[in-house]
Amino acid sequence: MFADRAKIYIRSGKGGDGHVSFRRELFVPNGGPDGGDGGKGGDIIFEVDEGLNTLYDYRHKRKFCAQDGEQGGKTRCHGKNGKDLTLKVPPGTVIKEAESGKVIADMSGGNTRQVILTGGKGGLGNMHFATSTMQVPKYAQPGQSAKELWVQLELKVIADVGLVGFPNVGKSTLLSRVTNARPKIANYHFTTLNPNLGVVDLEGGKGFVIADIPGLIEGASEGVGLGHEFLRHIERTKIMIHLVDAASTEGRDPIDDVYKINAELRAYNEEIAGRPQVIAANKIDAIYPDAEDPVQKLKGEFEPQGIRVFPISAVSGQGLKELLYYVREVLDTLPSEDVVFEQEYFPEESLIEENLPYTVEKSTEEENTYIVEGPKIEKMLGYTNLDSEKGFAFFQKFLKDTGILDDLEAAGIQEGDTVRMYGLQFDYYK
């Protein structure tokens, strides 16, 4: 089975803990703090590998963890950073949060490398906490916790043109005739279980990528047959070729087939059904000469709707040149950018649990200082990049929405007082 979906668990590295130690040298009986910082945990990175075309590597291994950062050491020694873990995926892979189905990243277009989960920051050693009133700090900051997430990987093929039609109408034959693709061809339904890609080269013009999308039958949008497994591959295509059996060699009505497939597309995604379409009336070499011309019936039905109909024979090649050049003309009128799915899920905003506790207390060791700590605070700092404008705005919103600012005021904080949250320290102003 074509591996175009996989559900995996990813975890970034935990930050190394800061170290508590003091200088111990001959003739220096009261050396100051010299505990080093912990190392940063490794990131989880997704990277496009042009040599891959399936997600097979993620079918049997489901758990991927980056390396944790090392603990800080004595004499201001910094712990070693954990190694990043880079996961290779084929172009066109969409990474979604498994439970909600929201897009985290689309590995297509210019996006060839993206950090999905950042490693936890290393904790500060006790050398950072010495003050005029606290010269012997026996506290070091723990490393920030690892981030973990279940993600769904979905491969949506990157093709300009989608070739759709009911089984056995000749899609694989057409693809093998007009491209360098070599799909398996046999005379029974559901021969094609893989979405085959091929490149169409046109004389004196630009080529394009065409994908044979299998599995479309009635009820496909509801998951009947292999519908949902393959409908996702249409999502990036800019134009669709409806291939129908004009000769009705299996007793199918080609007009009815077009309407049924469009109904499935509309049920799956209304926007996709509204994209440009063209009808390829295949097997014209099998039409009886004295019978009513089915191609004219197709033209009479669909060309008033703006859908061109081209009589072709995928076996002999008749009519293919006219069809392909028309498709190229339509593509030239459409935006050249790839269809890229926008990010909908932001791990730094979504992985902080509402029910985690925190405490707000006035320091007994330092004047005008308030300590805010607890799993909720530690997790928030671990998921938020305070160096970015968006991350800092999220931090401010977090303080307000969780009631931390109200709790600080209830504890008696005044403007100019210091707030300390693990390694983060700032002055309080309304």
pLDDT of residue 352: 59
Q: What is the pLDDT of residue 45?
A: 95
What is the pLDDT, as a whole number, of residue 222?
A: 53
Check pLDDT > 90 for residue 32: no
pLDDT digits (tens, 9 = 90+) for 167-199: 778 888 888 888 765 544 444 344 445 667 778
Q: What is the pLDDT of residue 188?
A: 39
pTM of this structure: 0.66
Give me the pLDDT at residue 227, please. Answer: 47
Predicted local confidence at residue 420, as pLDDT: 87
Cα distances from 50 to residues 91, 107, 158, 163, 273, in angstroms, run: 6, 11, 12, 23, 29
Tokens of residue 33, six digits: 């703090």
Residue 44 confidence (pLDDT) above 70: yes
> Is residue 42 over pLDDT 90?
yes
The confidence score (pLDDT) of residue 385 equals: 60
**Could you tell me which residue, 3 or 6, shows the higher pLDDT?**
6
pLDDT of 261 reads: 86
Which of 82-86, 107-111, 120-124, 352-356 bottoms out in mean pLDDT, i.e. has the lowest? 352-356
Task: Please tell me the distance from the alpha carbon of residue 283 to that of residue 169, in angstroms, as a whole number.
Answer: 8
| Cβ contact 284:313 at 8 Å | yes
| Interval 212-264: pLDDT, tens | 877 565 554 455 444 455 677 788 889 999 999 888 877 888 999 899 888 88
H helix or E strand, kind and range, residue 397: helix 389-401
Q: Which two tokens stand for residue 309?
A: 């109909």
Burial class (CB in 10 A: 0-12, 13-18, 19+), 160: buried
Predicted local confidence at residue 149, as pLDDT:
92
Residue 79 has what pLDDT?
93
Residues 218, 221: Cα–Cα separation, whole Å: 8
408 SS3 class: helix
Which of the listed ranges 42-51, 281-290, 345-354, 378-387 does the model predict with the highest average pLDDT? 42-51
Task: Determine how many CB atoms are found less than 10 A away from the CB of residue 250.
Answer: 11
144, pLDDT greater than 80: yes
In this predicted model, what pLDDT tens digit does every residue of 77-106 receive, in sequence order?
999 999 999 999 988 899 999 988 889 999
Percent residues over pLDDT 90 in the chain: 25
d(CA 418, CA 249): 82
Mean pLDDT of 380-392: 64
> Tokens 């890609």 identify what position?
197
Place of tokens 């309304």: 430
What pLDDT is recorded for position 2?
A: 52
Residue 299 corresponds to which tokens in the numbers above? Answer: 């033209």
pLDDT at residue 202 greater than cutoff 50:
yes
Q: What is the pLDDT of residue 190?
A: 42
| Residue 126 near residue 37 (C-beta atoms within 8 A) | no
- In this prediction, residue 3 has a pLDDT band, given cuts at 50, 70 and 90, of low
Reported as a single tens digit per residue, the pLDDT across 223-236 is 544 445 567 778 88
Higher pLDDT, 156 or 20: 20
pLDDT at 364: 82
Q: What is the pLDDT of residues 260-314, one digit of tens each?
A: 888 888 888 888 888 999 999 998 887 777 667 888 999 999 999 999 999 998 8
The residue among 233, 82, 90, 225 whose CA lies nearest residue 167 is 225
Task: Quote the pLDDT of residue 95.
Answer: 94
- Tell which residue, 66, 68, 121, has the closest CA to residue 379: 121
Other Cβ atoms within 10 Å of 267 Cβ, number: 15
Task: Taking residues 380-390, report their average pLDDT.
Answer: 63
Burial 375-407 (b: 16+ CB within 10 A, else e): ebbbbbbbbbeeeeeeeeebbeebbeebebbeb
Token duo for residue 369: 């200082």
Residue 140, pLDDT above cutoff 50: yes
| 195/368: higher pLDDT | 368
Tally of helices (H runs) and strands (E runs) in the chain: 10, 18
